[in-house]
Structure 1
Amino acid sequence: MFRFILVCIVVVGFLILSIPILLVEWVIGKFNRRAKDISSLRIVQAVFRCVLKITGSDIQIIGHENVPHDTAVLYIGNHRSFFDILLTYVLCPDLTGYVAKKEMEPIPLLSSWMKYLHCLFLDRKDIKAGMKTILTAIDEAKNGVSICIFPEGTRNKNESELDMLPFHEGSFKIATKSGCPIIPMAITNSAEIFEAHFPKIKPAKVIVEYGKPIYPDQLSKEDKKRLGAYTQETILNMLKKHREDF
């Protein structure tokens, strides 16, 4: 339980102590939006790295060189753990907004930081509102902000991480309508950090692999129609490869 308590202290402590930082970032943003965005990104990445270090996990990163640094991308990953956000966010080279569930928006301070970081809140129960969120994400990508979404729609609690939930095809409009490439992310064994033995946090071996960019306009007509399934198959192949290491 020690690691869990320490993580809680770090997260809650940061949110409380960061109130003046939020104000400073707001002021910076009035003069230079880009400087404020990058500053907020690096601050939160530093906190996430601290939390990951506390878990004591052995984190192996593969293929990060596949992520373009000169354009916005759509990150697509499988989702098994709350730590998937931390594991991938610390590796974002530039501005990246994560698509989160609407229920997180009312949380004080946390939602303020999320909005600073271009995160979007998706109402999974309201189709019209959900489409509006996707349209906002498309605009963000067109303006150079990468988007990360876990298109299973929720954390996959199936016994095997190879048994993924279906990918929501609507998520992929962010790439097809903005013209940005898709970066498939395969996250292996992340649930062993926390969810597998809740509420304890334990060190675990985790592999995060970034696949080669998928450019929808370069795919066959059939693969374009099933872009979600095509991307999921790419991620599944990476997961299968890494399961051999456990």
Structure 2
Amino acid sequence: MRGLDEVNLYKFGYVLVKGIFRTTYRVEVIGSENVPKDKGVLLCSNHISNFDPPMLGISFPRDVHYMAKEELFKLPVMKQVLLSLNAFPVRRGMSDKQALRQGLKLLKDGEVLGLFPEGTRSKTGELGEGMSGAGFFALRSNAEVVPAAIIGSYRPFSKVKVIIGEPIEMTKLREEKATAKDATEIIMSAIAKLIEKYK
């Protein structure tokens, strides 16, 4: 549960970033009606820019929580800002059990966990291979898995599209105890279809 100051900082950051992005880019959001209103949501998107997390955050109709690399939390001021903006630390390049547990708890509590399954920004703009983390969260929780696609160059005054797809049916995969890799491939396929349809 966030304190009052944290809530106010989140709202302030949301309004500020939304104003900047809406002024700098021609933002078009498609598919907001696909977002479950009262369930845990695993939001999975492609990753083309450092601007993707805030862009996705201002385009999604619910608060989004993100993992951020642990190094950013070593500066006290930055740590407080990140925590207030729904981010929590994760050690990259290794299995971080604490971060995994925190992500699962957010989903169980009905929150939105935002992930970029590729793990890093695409240097070419093309969709890369997804890592198994997305599949892990999809299979180990009962959250709705929502694919998303960000399309655009982030050049000033250019159009940036944020497409929110319909939730992916995961029940059969969970019952069959599919691997995290298999689940991630299905998620990445859904993202690829959104990109192809709206590019």
Q: Are 1:240 and 2:182 matched, yes or no? A: no
Aligned ranges 1:151-162 → 2 under 5 Å: 151-158=117-124, 161=125
Determine the C-alpha separation between the residues in 2 that align with 1:205 and 1:126: 36
TM-score between both structures, scaled by the size of structure 1: 0.71
Name stretches of at least 5 consecutive residues in structure 2 with no aligned partner.
none
Partner residue, 1:4: none
Q: 2:142 aligns with which of 169, 179, 189?
A: 179
Query: CA shift at 1:134, angstroms?
Result: 1.4
CA 186–222 in structure 1, closer or farther in 2 if over 3 Å, else same: farther
Q: Is the 8 A contact 1:41 1:95 kept in 2?
A: no
Query: CA shift at 1:43, angstroms?
Result: 1.8
Identical pairs, percent: 25
1:116-167 CA deviation, whole Å, 9 max, x = no partner? Answer: 233122211333xx23311211012112221101111111102xx3x32211
Determine the C-alpha separation between the residues in 2 that align with 1:213 and 1:39: 30
1:148-194 CA deviation, whole Å, 9 max, x = no partner? Answer: 01111111102xx3x322111123322322210111011111xx225
**SS of residue in 2 equivalent to 1:90:** helix
**SS of residue in 2 equivalent to 1:171:** helix
CA 172–37 in structure 1, closer or farther in 2 if over 3 Å, else same: farther
**SS of residue in 1 equivalent to 2:59:** coil
CA 223–237 in structure 1, closer or farther in 2 if over 3 Å, else same: farther
Query: CA shift at 1:214, angstroms?
Result: 1.6
Query: CA shift at 1:72, angstroms?
Result: 1.9
**Greater C-alpha radius of gyration:** 1
CA 221–86 in structure 1, closer or farther in 2 if over 3 Å, else same: same
Determine the C-alpha separation between the residues in 2 that align with 1:60 and 1:174: 28
**SS of residue in 2 equivalent to 1:109:** helix
Write 1 or 2 for the structure with the bigger share of helix: 1
Determine the C-alpha separation between the residues in 1 that align with 2:100 and 2:108: 12
Partner residue, 1:66: 34
Determine the C-alpha separation between the residues in 2 that align with 1:34 and 1:210: 30
CA 146–206 in structure 1, closer or farther in 2 if over 3 Å, else same: same
CA 75–52 in structure 1, closer or farther in 2 if over 3 Å, else same: same
Q: Is the 8 A contact 2:139 2:174 kept in 1?
A: no
TM-score between both structures, scaled by the size of structure 2: 0.87
Q: 2:8 aligns with which of 39, 50, 57?
A: 39
CA 164–221 in structure 1, closer or farther in 2 if over 3 Å, else same: farther
1:56-101 CA deviation, whole Å, 9 max, x = no partner? Answer: x111111011011111201100000111112111134334211122
Name stretches of at least 5 consecutive residues in structure 1 with no aligned partner.
1-28, 195-201
Q: 2:165 aligns with which of 211, 215, 221?
A: 211
**SS of residue in 2 equivalent to 1:133:** helix
1:211-244 CA deviation, whole Å, 9 max, x = no partner? Answer: 001242244878943111111111111111222x
Determine the C-alpha separation between the residues in 2 that align with 1:238 and 1:171: 17
Q: Is the 8 A contact 1:38 1:95 kept in 2?
A: no
Q: Is the 8 A contact 1:79 1:150 kept in 2?
A: yes
1:20-74 CA deviation, whole Å, 9 max, x = no partner? Answer: xxxxxxxxx7xxx47556434322210111220342x111111011011111201
Write 1 or 2 for the structure with the bigger share of strand: 2
Q: Is the 8 A contact 1:223 1:230 kept in 2?
A: no
Q: Is the 8 A contact 2:32 2:60 kept in 1?
A: no
Q: 1:137 aligns with which of 103, 110, 117?
A: 103
Q: Are 1:51 and 2:43 matched, yes or no? A: no
Aligned ranges 1:75-94 → 2 under 5 Å: 75-94=43-62
Higher relative contact order (CA 8 A, sep 6+): 2
CA 241–95 in structure 1, closer or farther in 2 if over 3 Å, else same: closer
